[in-house]
Amino acid sequence: MSTELSQGIVKSMGDTQLPATDDLWTQSPTLQVVMLKDIVSNKSGQQSNRKRGAVSDGLHYIQVMFTTQLNDLIDQGKISKYTVIKVKKMTLNVMQEKR
């Protein structure tokens, strides 16, 4: 089975000049997970386990933090390296003048 990635969408995600009203925010892009890593922190005596990674549109990649609601799917291997995903909701933050 062949799945077409949303080529070029990652470049748009990184464009800090793109207005929040742009069509980017209404799309559900198809991307491929190319890296996954556990981020474990122990703040205020409570341990949290977050998942960091990178996703690609076939041309570019962007670093991501997955929501904790996806932890079980990642831990069970249903989302892993090279898995193709459909992003239904995303938040982009500007850090060091980059998204």
Span 15-56, pLDDT tens digits: 767 665 566 667 889 999 999 999 888 777 677 789 999 999
Q: Is residue 78 in a domain?
A: yes
Q: What pTM did the predictor assign?
A: 0.80
Q: Is residue 66 in a domain?
A: yes
Rounded Cα distance, 35 and 93, in Å: 20
- Residues 52-78: b if buried by 16+ CB within 10 A, e if exposed: ebbbbbeeebbebebeeeebeebeeee
- How many domains does the chain divide into? 1
Q: Is residue 1 in a domain?
A: no
Rounded Cα distance, 75 and 60, in Å: 26
Q: Is residue 3 in a domain?
A: no
Q: Which residues pair with 36 in a beta bridge?
A: 53
Domain span at residue 19 reads 9-86
What are 56-92's pLDDT values in tens digits? 999 999 999 999 999 999 999 999 999 999 999 888 7
Whether the CB-CB separation of 55 and 62 falls below 8 Å is answered with yes
